[in-house]
Amino acid sequence: MDLRRLKGDLSRLGGLVKQTLAECADRVLVHRLLRDLDARPKEVRAALEKI
């Protein structure tokens, strides 16, 4: 259940990032945040493999 909620949260966050990019936000900051967010699913997957 928590993993589904996490996936939904990440999807909503992705939508917010897209909206921010569309509104001409600081692209350097957005790209740095995207790299950080990209690492999160990998961390979750690694934790699941240990279970």
DSSP the chain: -HHHHHHHHHHHHHHHHHHHHHTT--HHHHHHHHHHHHHHHHHHHHHHHH-
pLDDT in tens, 1-47: 576 777 787 788 778 877 877 787 677 877 787 788 777 777 777 77
What residues does each domain of the chain span?
A: 2-50
Burial of 21 (0-12, 13-18, 19+ CB in 10 A): middle
Separation CA 23–CA 40 (nearest Å):
25
pTM > 0.75: yes or no: no
